[in-house]
Amino acid sequence: MNFLLPNLSPAYPEIFLLAMGCLVLLTGLVAREKLPNLTYLLTQIALFGCALITFITFTPDAIYTFSDMFVDDVMADTLKMLVYITVSVCLIYSRSYISLRGMLSGEFFSLVLFATLGMLVMISASHFLTLYLGLELLSLSLYAMVALRRDSSIATEAAMKFFILGALASGFLLYGMSMIYGVTGSLNIARISEIIQGGVVNHATLVVGLVFIVAGIGFKLSVAPFHMWAPDVYQGAPTAVVLFISSAPKLAAFGFVMRLLIEGVGGMANDWQGMLIILALMSMAIGNLGAIMQTNIKRMLAYSTISHMGFMLLGIVSANVDGYGSSMFYVVIYVIMTLGTFGIIMLLSHGVYEAEKLDDFKGLNRRNPRYAFITLLLMFSLAGIPPTVGFYAKLSVLQAVMNAGYIWLAVMAVLFSVIGAFYYLRIIKLMYFDEPENDIFISPQRDVELLISTNGLVILLLGIFPQTLMALCIYAIQSSVQS
């Protein structure tokens, strides 16, 4: 019996990351007391190594391996590079925070790497089983990260809610996949697409399976009405974990949507477009209205995430390459804005004090004008106000929706954006017009200080010159997805 070794080169980053994740875990056990920063350095080395491997092995052609269950294409490489950068920035922002709370350990960093591995698998999956494997590896790592502070009852409660609702969503997703498998007889995404476009299968059964799949995707994207976990998890989890959950997994979730909805059941666009329109409208309504009522900054940002993910779905609704490119651009910009916002929150969390209230932003301009200005840029961008890049991100999605003929949907999106601007502008008012509640001087480490300033500058520069990043997103989609 001859055993053919599969082509491993498309999966070199994943193989390297798996080995480094195990090394970080073992190093944390051995050198936890003597060299507490060693696991942090190894994690950053792992991410840099993955980025280097992805860059060296880049090719404009799609390469399939593991019996066509795994694909390496331009979209996968682009999203992976963005994931590496995002996770690395998350760790730089979080290092001081987790060190003061006893979380600077091999367990935390190994969970980060295993979660990142799950994201990479999701992004490169070309088979239902591979998609689900990556999704569960990411999800289980996130559940554990939320519950990592075992002395915190609110974190434990958040982890339990996250786990139970996540298991329910995984069940929906599996049930939908099983129904599509029952109709098409295949789990391979490309093969399923061919069969659906052939039009010889039971359409009604496919639609039922599609409903369950969209429900599962809705949970992973935290869009309404599958959003109920987000506010509690954002409030209960440590801020460093919330930063991770709210950033890099959104890039992987976008890749998941592209592989499953566009490449897999793209022939049923007329069916899932209506479902996504409902999810997008509900998300923008519930997210923006819910955020207005919040006094906890992390709960407010959870509802903000719900509204932004609803906005991102508008580009998918357009069902064309330009729309998909605008959605990818929107997700990337959202991640950049989220990194900066939670970076500021962790700067305000001095010592073991948690900056969780809106009142913690009072008088920030008097305490540190630079960070107040960076926060102003971030809030303007989240609200979609020019000249920040958030305005261009929203505009590109709205243009894609209108070009697809959904003028009314674009009008509704603009109305909800106007409503949502209130709670972002409220933070600016607190920073510049209210008296500070304390006079604690903010003095971050040099790398954090440089990175947070760069983050704010990127928000401004991309708002003035967004063309390069937008062109990259369009190129990645055109090279990888058959519209």
Domain that holds residue 235: 9-480
Distance CA 23, CA 26 (A): 5
Contact status, residue 382 vs residue 337, Cβ threshold 8 Å:
yes
Q: Within a domain: residue 414?
A: yes
Using pLDDT thresholds of 50, 70 and 90, give the confidence band for residue 440: low
Helix (H, G, I), strand (E, B) or coil at 346: helix
Q: Within a domain: residue 400?
A: yes
**pLDDT, the chain, mean:** 87
Q: What is the pLDDT of residues 58-115, one digit of tens each?
A: 888 888 888 888 888 899 999 999 999 999 999 998 888 888 877 777 788 999 999 9
Structure tokens at 331: 């997700």
Q: Within a domain: residue 71?
A: yes
Give the start-end residues of each E strand in 60-161.
Answer: 63-65, 70-72
Using pLDDT thresholds of 50, 70 and 90, give the confidence band for residue 441: low
Q: What is the DSSP letter of 187?
A: -
Distance CA 242, CA 236 (A): 9
Q: How far apart are the first and last CA of the chain?
A: 41
Please give the model's pTM, rounded to 2 decimal places. Answer: 0.93
Q: What is the pLDDT of residues 11-61, one digit of tens each?
A: 899 999 999 999 988 888 887 667 778 888 999 999 999 999 999 988 888
- Tell whether the model's pLDDT for residue 116 goes beyond 90: yes
Distance CA 9, CA 442 (A): 46
Distance CA 52, CA 50 (A): 5
Q: Within a domain: residue 249?
A: yes
Phi, psi at 455, each rounded to 5°: -60, -45
Q: What is the pLDDT of residues 249-281, one digit of tens each?
A: 999 999 999 988 888 887 888 888 888 999 999
Q: Within a domain: residue 286?
A: yes
Going by C-beta distance under 8 Å and a sequence separation of 6 or more, which residues neighbour residue 389? 333, 336, 381, 458, 459, 460, 462, 463, 466
Distance CA 447, CA 96 (A): 11
- Tell whether the model's pLDDT for residue 354 goes beyond 80: no
Integer angstrom CA distances of residue 67 from 19, 128, 323, 344, 480: 23, 13, 31, 45, 19
Distance CA 241, CA 345 (A): 13
Q: Within a domain: residue 1?
A: no
Q: Burial letters for 365-380: b for 16+ Cβ neighbours within 10 Å, e otherwise?
A: bebbeebbbbbbbbbb
- Tell whether the model's pLDDT for residue 1 goes beyond 60: no
Helix (H, G, I), strand (E, B) or coil at 70: strand
Residue 33 has a pLDDT of 65
Q: What is the DSSP letter of 237?
A: S
Using CA of residue 173, residue 178, residue 184, residue 185, what is the dihedral sign?
positive
Most distant pair of Cα atoms in the chain: their distance: 78
Going by C-beta distance under 8 Å and a sequence separation of 6 or more, which residues neighbour residue 367? 436, 439, 440, 441, 442
Q: Within a domain: residue 2?
A: no
CB-CB neighbours of 336 under 10 Å? 25
Distance CA 390, CA 337 (A): 8
* Overall domain count for the chain: 1
> Does residue 397 come out as left (phi exceeding 0), alpha (psi in the -120 to 50 range) or beta?
alpha
CB-CB neighbours of 209 under 10 Å? 22
Contact status, residue 322 vs residue 397, Cβ threshold 8 Å:
no
Contact status, residue 453 vs residue 371, Cβ threshold 8 Å:
no
Average of per-residue pLDDT across 199-209: 82
Our CA angle for 172, 260, 194, nearest 5°, is 120
Contact status, residue 60 vs residue 478, Cβ threshold 8 Å:
no
Q: Within a domain: residue 187?
A: yes
Highest mean predicted confidence (pLDDT) among 1-15, 257-271, 275-289, 361-375: 275-289
Q: What is the DSSP letter of 188?
A: B
